[in-house]
Structure formats: C-alpha cells, structure tokens
C-alpha cells in the first residue's frame, strides 16, 4: 500500500476558496478568453445573478443543474452560482450527439439547464426542466451567500458504463478541494499565475485547469477551440504555471506546430491516457528545463489521484512511465482478484481509497456500482473504513512508485487466446515509419484484432504494412496478429482528447473505399488502405 501525505484542506468547499480570493483580490483577473476579461469581483457578481435566477427556478441544495459547457466566462459563473446554492453542476459538451445529451438529462434529472441560447434547446429537454440564459438576472446588487457544505456534491461528470450507457460520477466538495490543494502544491501554482483551459468542460481533465487557478488566486485562459492551439502556444513574458494535456493532444499539436514548451509553461502535466517514454523523448530539447508530471486518475478518483514527477534529465526507460504516488489523504492498494495485497513488484488491480474517491454514481448498472466498496474489505487495510474504488487498471508497486501496466479489459480474448492490446500497439510503433498506432477488437466477423497505424503527413510507405505484420508475426502468437491493418493519416481524437476507435475505424474504411474505387476506375491507389494478415 502507498499512502499520500496527510494534509489540511485549503478551504471547506470550492465556493469558500473562491470567496476568499474575491475578498483579498477583487480587482485581479480571474477569467480571460475571447470576450472581456472578468475580475474576481465581476465573476462573483455574475455568479450571484445566476444563483438568484436558479433559486427562482426552484434549484436548491442537492439538486443537479445541467450547463451547456462552452468555454466562456458566463459558464464559469453559472457553475460557481450553482455550487453556491448547494447544487451540483453537470457540464454537457456541445459536441455530444443529441442522443447522448438526452440520455444524460434523463439519468441526471436536472432541475434546470443553463445555456447561452435557451431557444436552441426548445423541445429537446425533459418535461419540467427550466431553461436559463447564462446572461440572465439583475445586472447589479445581487449578493451571493454560499450554502455549499463539504459533504455536498460539487459536480457530476458523465462517463460511459459497462452497458455503454452514460453514468454520472458524483464528486463532493471535500474530494474536489483535496485534489485542487494537492495539485496546487504539485504544480507550484502561485497567486497571479495563469493556465490555459482548452479541454472539453464535459471531461474532468478540465477541472484542474478551470478551478485550480481560481482556488489559488490566479487566472484561467479559456480557449474556445480544443483543436486550435495557437491562442496558448505563443511565447509569454510570464509562462503559464502549467499546461495540462493528453498524450493524444501532444501528438496532434506536434503535427500542427511543434510547440516549444520552454517558452510557454513552467510545467507540463500529462494526463488522461498512458504516457510512453518514447513520446516524451520525441519532444527532445523543447522540454529542457520544464518540470514534467505524469498525472493519473479515473473520473471516479476526482480527476487525478497519483502523480510522477520527472524531467528531461531523468532516465524514464522504455514503455509507460510510472504514475507515482497518491494524492493527499488517500491510499493506493495493488490487490489480487480476492482483494488481497500482492507482493511488492507483482502485478495486480489498483484500488484507491480515501478523500480522492467520488461519492458514487447516478445511473450505471450493478457491476458499475460494485466497483465502489469499503476500504476495510481490502486485505491489509486493518480497521480503516473509507470509500474505495476498483479502477480496473493493472499496476505494480516498484521503488516506492506505482507502475502502470494497462487495463484489465485490455487483456482481450480472441478465439480463446488472451491478448494484450498494448503489446500489439507497442510492437507496431517500434517499426520504422510508424509514428503512432492503436489496436481494437473488430466489430465484424469473428472478432479478430484490427490495427490502425499512422505514418504522418508524408503519406503511407508502401511497405509499412508488410513490415508491421512481419514484426508482429515474429513476436506474437498467431491469434494476436491483426486480421486487418489500416493506414490512416492520423488516429482520430475525440472531444476529450483521447483516441476514438469508432471514428478512426470510420476514417480508415472511408479511405479504403476511396482507394478501391480509384483502383476500379484505373486510377491506382490513394493515400491509405487496409491489408489482411
């Protein structure tokens, strides 16, 4: 077992933390972006107006409020006003499909929906849900008195359950403030610092960038377009305190701009996906002097629950980097299938316990809810009784750090053979000419593996598929060799900055279809395609 440092929380709730900054730094910039900047005093006044309108609509402690989560100052104010009422905000990404939005609203049962254009949602909301304009309310004189308590839910973020249907993760104020205080210490964020927020607000990745600056007396720069890095890539007189980014974002931005992180930020916080040493190495001297963090955590562990600090002078070795040690007031166990601790250095399932663990789910099924348990059920936990969460991730404790080994569900069975998806991907990336790769179980036929490889902007190397298959056949059992290999310009990334298997498959099939059509017309091969093993 690894334990995080016991620490006092910086405030009872996030609302209390922001209120303290309003009192001490009312004229300091809190939020900046495309529109006018907002000072702490202006943000607080806007939140007060939103709270007044929400209260008039019947919102009170324990309720849920859906927010159409564009990255704007008015959305930040709406979320803050919601929490001040003792209610939880539910961010909904505007890029979500309509069916997913409807399902989230059905499961979440919000009392109100806050949106910059409520008329655009007319007829699409469940009956009884009030629609509120983010600019509603009296323009002055509103006072904001917080009704939030540490045990109340601060926000609900929806993820996908084992049934494929969304489930809401309920995160309380105590867990949120515990995380933000730890993250402030981790990043060295100081009063007056800033950080960009370009991640979807419907993804808890954005919680760090949005609320840590406001808890600590800094400012958040809201970036409207997740996929346009230009607003935050320019060299700054005072670099950002940190930039939080997924590995998939890094790969995308490398193709667009090859950022010089030294001129942009003091710290790069990688999170959301497995971080490989090869990716860090590829950034080369553009990371020199920058503090680097590998930040790990499922949504159910309040954004992030462990971190590993390193720099370009470190020797990270090969493969995935360690995920480090736990957040304040929390513990990490590596256990076997019977929840008994495994010997040091051996692999098992990571179970998290303590302040980092969310309060539970809205929606989901019994198998989802069973992943939350009491810490006392873990072998070696003694009389400790706190909430715990089974992550489904495989880890080992080595040299006082957690080593990430992949997902339990990445050990898939193909025609009776157990296969490590990450092993297939890693071998493919090791082939000359392949810059990125991902594998998934096919949705067609007998359910064999599909492999997607990217060769970059230069177009596919005619022999790359053959070289990849040759390498895989030399290293893997036959069942682990993909039935189809697609060459794509890039692996498609979703709104959360993570690899989107379905969208990449659709892109690959579109390219293959175009190539087949061109060949039938006598035009030869186009820029990508597939090859059967």
Domain holding 401: CATH number?
2.30.38.10
Please give the model's pTM, rounded to 2 decimal places: 0.82
Read off the CATH number of the domain in which 203 is found: 3.40.50.12780
If one counts every other C-beta atom within 10 angstroms of the C-beta of residue 191, the result is 12
Whether the predicted pLDDT of 127 surpasses 80:
no
73 pLDDT band, cuts 50/70/90, is: very high
Host domain of residue 453: 415-532
Instruction: Tell me the mean pLDDT in the region 29-45.
Output: 92
What's the pLDDT band for 237 if we cut at 50, 70, 90?
confident
CATH number, position 427: 3.30.300.30
Nearest to 57 by CA among 128, 134, 155, 141: 128
**367: how many CB neighbours lie within 10 A of its CB?**
10
368 lies in a domain?
A: yes
Q: Which residues contact 224 (CB under 8 A, 6 or more apart)?
A: 33, 34, 70, 71, 72
* CA dist., res. 152 & res. 312, Å (int): 41
Q: How many domains does the chain have?
A: 3
What span, in angstroms and rounded, lies between the C-alpha atoms of 22 and 28?
Answer: 9
156 lies in a domain? yes
Distance CA 96, CA 249 (A): 19
Same domain, 170 and 233: yes
> With 60 as the cut, is the pLDDT of residue 460 above it?
no
Do both 30 and 124 map to the same domain? yes
Give me the mean pLDDT over the 49-62 stretch.
94
The answer to whether residue 367 is domain-embedded is yes
Kindly list the distances between the CA atom of residue 289 and the CA atoms of 16, 264, 314, in Å, as whole numbers in the listed order: 35, 12, 12
pLDDT of residue 218: 98
**Between 277 and 84, the higher pLDDT residue:** 84
Question: Do 219 and 248 sit in the same domain of this protein?
Answer: yes
Give me the pLDDT at residue 523, please.
45
**CA angle, corner 467, sides to 498 and 421, nearest 5?**
35
Q: Pick from 385, 27, 5: which is nearest to 181 by CA? A: 5
Weakest mean pLDDT among 239-248, 423-432, 508-517 = 508-517
Answer yes or no: do 119 and 63 share one domain: yes
Asked if residue 410 belongs to a domain, the reply is no
Report helix, strand or coil for 396: strand
Asked whether residue 237 is domain-assigned, the answer is yes
DSSP, res 248: H
How far is residue 240's CA from residue 268's CA, in Å, rounded to a whole number?
10
β-strands 194-197, 2-3: how paired?
unpaired
Please check whether residues 356 and 219 belong to one and the same domain: no
Residue 480 lies in a domain: yes
Distance, CA of 483 to CA of 480 (rounded, Å)? 9
Can you tell me the mean pLDDT for 466-479? 82
Same domain, 359 and 478: no
Element (H, E) at 149: none
Residue 203 CA, chain-centre distance (Å), reads: 5
Boundary (domain end) residue, out of 405, 423, 457: 405
What mean pLDDT comes out for the span 96-117? 87
Q: Residue 528: which pLDDT band, with cuts at 50, 70 and 90?
A: very low
Asked if 148 and 84 touch (Cβ cutoff 8 Å), the reply is yes
Q: Are strands 360-362 and 372-374 parallel, antiparallel or unpaired?
A: unpaired
Q: CB of 425 within 8 A of CB of 458?
A: no
Give the whole-angstrom CA distance, residue 37 versus residue 59: 28
DSSP assigned state of 322:
P
Q: Mean pLDDT in the chain?
A: 86
SS3 335: strand
pLDDT computed for residue 532 by the predictor: 39
User: 175 and 266 share a domain?
Assistant: yes
Does the pLDDT at position 103 exceed 80?
yes
- Structure confidence by residue, pLDDT tens digits, 305-359: 999 999 888 766 677 899 999 999 999 999 999 999 999 999 999 999 999 999 9
Element (H, E) at 268: strand 267-271
Residue 458 has pLDDT above 70, yes or no: no
Give 166 or 355, the one with higher predicted confidence. 355
Verify that 357 and 452 share a domain, yes or no: no
457, containing H or E segment: none
- 160 vs 164: CA distance, rounded Å: 6
Q: Is residue 420 located within the same domain as residue 509?
A: yes
- Domain end among 326, 353, 385: 326
Q: Where are the alpha helices (DSSP H) in 384-451?
A: 421-429
Is residue 340 situated within a structural domain? yes
**Are 108 and 193 contained in the same domain?**
yes
pLDDT of residue 524: 40
- Model confidence at 235, in pLDDT bands (50, 70, 90)? confident
pLDDT reported for residue 410: 66
Contact 92, 140 (CB under 8 A): no
Q: Looking at the structure, do residues 425 and 400 belong to the same domain, yes or no?
A: no
Q: How far apart are CA 213 and CA 232, in angstroms?
A: 16
Same domain, 265 and 372: no
Q: Which of 347, 377, 405 is the last residue of a domain?
A: 405
pLDDT score, position 443: 61
Sheet holding 360-362, edge to edge: 130-133, 112-115, 64-68, 88-92, 153-160, 166-172, 360-362
Question: Side-chain half-sphere of 105: how many Cα atoms within 13 Å?
Answer: 25
- Quickly count: other Cβ atoms within 10 Å of residue 285's Cβ: 9
> For the chain, how many residues are written?
533
Q: Which of 4-8, 74-78, 467-471 has the lowest mean pLDDT?
A: 467-471
Q: Rounded to whole angstroms, what are the CA distances from 416 to 151, 379, 445, 515?
A: 47, 32, 15, 34
Look at residue 13 and tell me if it is in a domain.
yes
User: Could you tell me if 33 and 71 are in contact, meaning their C-beta atoms sit under 8 angstroms apart?
Assistant: yes
pLDDT at site 459: 56
């Amino acid at each position: 077992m690894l334990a995080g440092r016991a620490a006092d929380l910086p405030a009872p709730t996030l609302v209390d933390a922001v209120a303290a900054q309003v009192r001490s730094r009312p004229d300091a910039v809190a939020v900046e972006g495309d529109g006018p900047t907002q000072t702490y005093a202006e943000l607080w006044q806007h939140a007060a107006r939103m709270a007044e309108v929400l209260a008039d609509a019947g919102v009170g402690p324990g309720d849920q409020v859906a927010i159409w989560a564009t990255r704007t100052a008015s959305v930040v104010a709406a979320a803050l006003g919601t929490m001040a009422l003792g209610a939880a905000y539910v961010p909904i990404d505007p890029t979500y499909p309509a069916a997913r939005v409807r399902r989230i609203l059905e499961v979440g049962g919000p009392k109100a929906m806050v949106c910059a254009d409520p008329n655009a949602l007319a007829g699409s909301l469940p009956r009884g849900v009030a629609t509120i304009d983010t600019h509603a309310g009296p323009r002055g004189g509103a006072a904001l008195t917080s009704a939030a308590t540490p045990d109340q839910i601060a926000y609900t973020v929806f993820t996908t359950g084992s049934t494929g249907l969304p489930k809401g993760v309920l995160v309380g104020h105590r867990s949120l403030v515990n995380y933000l205080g730890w993250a402030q210490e981790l990043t060295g964020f100081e009063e007056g610092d800033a950080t960009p927020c370009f991640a979807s607000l419907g993804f808890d990745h954005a919680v760090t960038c949005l609320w840590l600056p406001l808890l600590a007396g800094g400012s958040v720069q809201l970036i409207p377009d997740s996929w346009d890095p230009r607003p935050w890539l320019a060299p700054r007189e005072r670099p950002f305190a940190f930039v939080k980014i997924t590995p998939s974002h890094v790969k995308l931005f490398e193709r667009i701009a090859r950022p010089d992180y030294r001129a942009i930020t003091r710290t790069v916080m990688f999170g959301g996906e497995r971080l490989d040493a090869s990716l860090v190495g590829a950034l080369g001297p553009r990371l020199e002097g920058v503090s680097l963090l590998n930040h790990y955590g499922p949504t159910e562990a309040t954004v992030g629950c462990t971190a590993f600090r390193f720099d370009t002078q470190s020797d990270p070795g090969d493969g995935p980097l360690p995920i480090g040690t736990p957040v304040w007031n929390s513990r990490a166990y590596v256990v076997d299938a019977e929840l008994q601790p495994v010997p040091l250095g051996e692999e098992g399932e990571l179970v998290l316990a303590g302040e980092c663990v969310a309060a539970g789910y809205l929606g989901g099924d019994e198998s989802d809810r069973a992943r939350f348990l009491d810490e006392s059920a873990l072998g070696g936990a003694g009389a400790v009784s706190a909430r715990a969460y089974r992550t489904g991730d495989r880890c080992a404790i080595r040299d006082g750090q957690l080593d990430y080994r992949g997902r339990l569900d990445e050990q898939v069975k193909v025609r009776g053979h157990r296969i490590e998806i990450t092993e297939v991907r890693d071998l493919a990336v090791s082939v000359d000419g392949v810059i990125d790769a991902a594998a998934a179980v096919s949705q067609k036929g007998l359910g064999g593996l599909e492999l997607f490889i990217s060769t970059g902007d230069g177009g596919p190397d005619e022999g790359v598929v053959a070289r990849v298959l040759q390498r895989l056949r030399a290293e893997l059992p036959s069942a682990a060799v993909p039935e189809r290999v697609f060459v794509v310009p890039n692996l498609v990334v979703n709104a959360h900055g993570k690899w989107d298997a379905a969208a990449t498959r659709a892109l690959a099939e579109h390219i293959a279809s175009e190539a087949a059509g061109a060949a039938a017309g006598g035009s030869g091969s186009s820029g990508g395609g597939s090859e059967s093993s």
